[in-house]
Each structure stands twice: as structure tokens, then as C-alpha cells.
A and B are shown apart, each in its own frame.
Chain A
Amino acid sequence: MLTPIKIRKKPVSILLIFVFLLILASFTSQGRQKITLMEEMLLTVVAPVQGVFQRLTFSAESVFASVREYQLLLKENALLHEQLAASSTLEAQLAELRKENHRLRQMLDLREKSEYQLIASEVIARDASNWFQTMTINRGSMHGVKKNMAVVTSEGLVGSIYSVSHISSQVLLLTDSRPAVSAFVQRSREPGQVGVVESAPGIPGYLRMINLPREANIQPGDIVISSGLGEIFPKGLVIGHVLETGEDEYGILQYALLRPAANFNRLEEVFVVIPVTEKRE
């Protein structure tokens, strides 16, 4: 016969721990202002290991990708040889276009974008669970990263800083069910047509823009950018492209399915955006 163990004598204490975990999860499910010293220490220990593994993984993947693409490269090489002959003419045209581009940029009011100061960082880990979409970057409070700062790539908005430790930070991706970004359509820029972008339920990796007025001027192919409302995401960051639009279940509002501008499957380097107020401090 089996000998009863201590745990069977104290089922109440085990039960209490489970209840405690439920309450703890309830409190922390909507985000936290600060992480504890214990968490800070743990993340400081784990982050360097994550960094090494992630670099090894990307290196290995690059090698495999190179082998896979070898045949493709041979064909591409032959094509490039042909194109090279015509390149001298194109080069002259390019120089002209560069000058024109420079002039046009000066004409455009890009002050909005130039106000951002960016912190370059590397992705050192991704959450592998299917419920949450987070990643860890190798920049923390010692590099000037703070909670709620926006995170971008050259392609567009990625997410925001969820928690910060000394040498690393955790980023809540846009594709996670928790964040929501106030946004509008770049083409129309109508102030009354601000919607909310969140993860698309049931379609992993895609976004959904909701709360759009029924008469909102939005169509497939439109670019959606952050509106700057909500004070987390600066105005003008590209979020994604509209794939399709439709009416909500009551027919009162519109929604749009978006393909994120940033490639969430291939995030290696990202930038943390320092808000204008932080920059001035």
C-alpha cells in the first residue's frame, strides 16, 4: 500500500497556492508599473544566455538559408550580369533621382519623424507560447529604455516596451491580444475617422482596425498609421496595410483587416523610440 505523502495531508495549502496564482495573474494581466528586484535579477541572468542562443540560431538559419538559395542565386547572378551592362545609364539617372528625392524631402514637412530619437537593439528571445506575443531585446534601463516606449523597425511599428530590467527589456508586440493603438488612414487623414488597431482574433500575425465610422474613407491597399492619441505611440508610425474592410455585426461601424508593416516572423533588430519629452529632459 502506498504511504501517504505530506502533500496529501496539506491539500489546503496547495489549494491556497493555486488560488494565490489566480489572483496574481488577475492583477498582472493588465500590465504592471514596475518589476520586482527578484525579476530584475532573474532577467539579468537569463538575458545574456538568450542573446547567445539567439545569435547562434540566426547564424545557423542564415547558413541553411544560403544553401537553400544557392541555385536561386546562380540564376540571379546570370540575370544581374545582363543587367550590369545597362547599369551605366541607370547610374546617371539614379544620381538625378537622388538629387530630386533630396529636394522633395526638404519640401516635405518631416519634422514629425526627425523628432524621434532611436535606440538600436537586438532581439534576443521570443515567447514561444501561442497565447502571448512578446520578445526580449538587449537594451534596458541602463541604455535609456523606459516602460511604454514604442518599438519600431524600418518597416513600421512593432509594439511597445512592457517591462524593463537593467540590461534587457520585454516588448509587447502589436500581434499580442493586450495592446491597442489609436490609428487613422494615411491617405485620408481625417481626424474624425480614428480607429483602434489590435490583434486580429483567430488570424495569428494579422491586425484588425475597429471602431471606424461606417462612412470612413478606407479601402484595401491603404496605409494605416498611428494617430498619436493615447500617448504611448508617437504620431505617424506605419502600422500596416489594409487587406479588406467590412461592417461590424450591428452594421454601425466599419472594421479593416490589416497586414502588419513589420515582418513579425523575422524580427532581428528593432529600434526603441524615445518620445520627444524624454529627449528634451
Chain B
Amino acid sequence: MGIIFIFGLFVISLVIQGSVLALAGTGGVHPDILFVVVVALALLSDGKRGALLGFSAGMLQDIVFASPIGFFTFGKMLAGLLAGLLAHEIYRDFVPVPVIVVTVLTVLNEAVTYLLMNMYFNPQVTFIHYLQHFSLPRVAMHILVMAIAYPYLYTAQKRRMFFHEPESTG
């Protein structure tokens, strides 16, 4: 049942990204809701699950939006893994903590994405330009989305909606 909830959450996040948020237009900055959901759920689980969540969400995004398979999966899996590894070392019921985590991981994800873009394509945009015009506004958006969404996801997990087994350590 948890898998269905998670899959549903991923699909809804992607659909919102591809409809409502895409109205911002070409070149507009949009929050990556799927990324925030991955980080939030990974913080409520562990490293292994976090990596798996990031892998699944990234694959879904790569398939649905026709990006090279593995492109967004890489960054999301890395973020899920790191968030999961932090899961039992933070106060998970204190909202500012996931907000800080998502801030750091968003910057990391943006750097990874830029690196991959340089590996496979020729973006002709400097990292500083990308950071100023896209990454930093996105960080602000992710902070907002995490602050709103995390309490709901935390409450849902308290009721074992996502992961049924007893939480593992680590």
C-alpha cells in the first residue's frame, strides 16, 4: 500500500510540475516538487530506501519528460541516499531541519545536473549564471515547498502510510 501512495505522490508531483508550474513559460524557474518529495520521504526512512526513492522518482521523470535516461535519476538518487543517511542523525519532527537539508541538497543537485549537462551536451551557460538565475530562486522555492509539505508527509508517515516496517536505524 505504501508503494502505491509513494507512486501516486510521485505522479502528482510530476503532473503539477508539467502543468501548473510549466505555465511560468520557457526559461521560467520552477520548483522541482518531485525532488523535495524525494528528500522529505528519504528523511523519513533510511539510506537504502532514500536511494531507491530517488532512483524511482528520477527514472519516472526521465521517462515522462523524455530527458536522457539516468540524467535526473543520478541527482535524485544521490540526494535520496544522502538524505536517507542523515535520517537518524537529525531531529525529524523539527521542520527547520528538513528545510536546511533540502537547501544543501538542492545546491548539490543543481551542481550535479550542471556537471552532467556539460558531460553530455554543451549548455554554453556558466555555472555562476545558472546558479544566480535558476538555482538560487529554486532553492528559495524548495524551502517554501518543504516547509509546507514536510509536516503533512511527517504526519502521514507517523500513521505508517509510506513505510510499514519498523524504521531501521542508520
Using a CB–CB cutoff of 8 Å, the interface residues on chain A facing chain B are 2-8, 14, 17-18, 20-29, 35, 39, 42-43, 45-46, 49-50, 53-54, 56-57, 61, 125-134, 136, 162-163, 170, 172, 175, 177-178, 201-202, 204-205, 264-265
Contacts and interface: CB of A to CB of B under 8 A. Distances in A.
B77 A53 contact: no
Contacts of B69: 24-25, 27-28
A128 B70 contact: no
29 contacts: A5-B47, A8-B47, A8-B170, A14-B51, A22-B70, A23-B70, A25-B69, A25-B71, A25-B120, A28-B70, A35-B63, A46-B15, A49-B15, A50-B19, A53-B18, A57-B19, A125-B19, A125-B64, A126-B18, A126-B19, A126-B22, A127-B18, A127-B65, A128-B21, A163-B66, A201-B123, A202-B124, A264-B26, A265-B26
Contacts of A172: 66
Contact of A43 (B18, B55, B64): B64
Given A128-B65, A264-B26, 4 more contacts: A25-B68, A128-B30, A136-B64, A201-B124
Most buried by A among B21, B67, B84, B117: B67
Nearest to A131: B117
Contacts of A202: 124-125, 129
A175 B26 CA distance: 9
B19 A54 contact: yes
Nearest to B78: A18
Given A57-B23, A134-B67, A125 B124 contact: no
A175 B20 CA distance: 20
Given A25-B116, A53-B20, A205-B27, A43 B63 contact: yes
B68 A131 contact: no
B74 A7 contact: no
Contact of B120 (A5, A26, A39, A130): A26
Interface of B is mostly: helix
Contacts of B63: 35, 39, 42-43
**Interface footprint category on B:** 35 or more
Interface in B76-90: 77-78, 81, 84-85, 88-89
Contacts of B85: 5, 7
Contacts of A6: 48
Contacts of A20: 70
Contacts of B129: 202
A175 B27 CA distance: 10
Contact of B121 (A61, A129, A163, A178): A178
Contacts of B74: 18, 21-22, 25
Interface string B19-62: 11111011101101000000000000011100100010000100
Nearest to B113: A131
Nearest to A24: B70
A204 B26 contact: yes
A39 B117 CA distance: 23
B17 interface: yes
B26 A177 contact: no
Contacts of B117: 131
